[in-house]
Amino acid sequence: MILSSRGVTSRYRHLMLDIGTLIPHSKKDSKLDTKNPRDAVVEVADMKSCSSAMFFECRKRTDCYMWLAKVPEGPSVKFHVENVHTMAELKLTGNHLKFSRPALHFDASFDDTQTSPHLTHIKEMLTHVFTTPYKHHKMKPFLDHVFAFYWEDNRVWFRNYQISYPEGKEARGVGATLVETGPRLCLHPIKIFAGAFGGPTLYDDPTYVSPNVVRREEKKKDQGKYQRKVEKKAERKAHARMNALKPDELDGWLKD
């Protein structure tokens, strides 16, 4: 189940459509316009017989948060969506078959249970959402693209690649290359909950800074910029008074 809240911007709406085309077994629904949209997602997913939900929650028409949840019992992960580039925006050369089965690739960081145990939960959620069920009626029986997930800078980086073979060597699979198709996005995990869209907190990222805090700090810098400008202007005037030039005896001799 893929759906969004009311007020989603065009960029994130196009991203949601791109992800829907990459997942053959996905189902869509209209935008939620309720006071508690996250509670309504569980009901909608249950009515459509969906076991997983991807919910895009937009705030202030600038910030987008993506929820991945197993419904109705959980768990769920809340991400902050960053660095979004849709397929129409990128215009990359990759072009795999629509609704074909993807291969999922996770880097070694997702298997490091000693230093980052929360990544195992994130990997499991991403696997449940992006893996196409075997012999699904909308699936095409081809494996021609890869969903790659990388962990860097406390974020999950998503890339989609087409598996391209040289002409005449498809049967042997010799010389295969990866050509990026898109879209691109970065997911910053904020919290992991035991339930669907809530419940006990299993993980809380201590390095996460809210976009509201970032914007507030930028405004403070702009306010201080004007104050520094006024102070420098007053300093220049005081310096000019203290270092005034003495009248020269030759001033005005050409006029005579």
pLDDT digits 0-9 by tens, 62-104: 899 999 999 988 899 999 999 999 999 988 988 999 999 999 9
Specify the 3-state DSSP secondary structure of 189.
Answer: strand
At 211 the pLDDT is 92
- 208-226: average pLDDT: 86
Q: How far apart are CA 256 and CA 246, in angstroms?
A: 21
Cβ neighbours of 46 (radius 10 Å): 14
Rounded to 5 degrees, what angle do the CA atoms 162, 165, 167 make? 135
Q: How many CB atoms lie within 10 A of CB 203?
A: 17
Q: pLDDT class for 169, splitting at 50, 70, 90? A: low
Indicate the average pLDDT of the chain. 89
- Residue-range domain boundaries for the chain: 2-207
CATH superfamily of 2-207: Brix domain (3.40.50.10480)
Share of the chain above pLDDT 90, in %: 56
Check whether 183 has a pLDDT greater than 90: yes
SS3 state of residue 167: coil
Taking the CA of residue 247 as centre, how many other CA atoms within 13 Å lie in the half-sphere pointing to its CB?
4
- The pLDDT of 220-242, averaged and rounded, is 87
Give the tokens for residue 38.
Answer: 């996250």
Q: What confidence tier does 247 reach under pLDDT thresholds 50, 70, 90?
A: confident
Give the CA distances from residue 213 to residues 209, 210, 218, in Å, rounded to whole numbers and listed in that order. 7, 5, 9
Single-letter amino acid code for the residue at 56: F
Specify the DSSP class assigned to residue 176. Answer: -
Going along 86-132, which residue ranges are E strands?
100-106
- Name the burial class of residue 92, with classes exposed (0-12), middle (13-18) and buried (19+) by CB atoms within 10 angstroms of its CB: middle
Distances (CA, A) of 172 to 163, 165, 175: 13, 9, 9
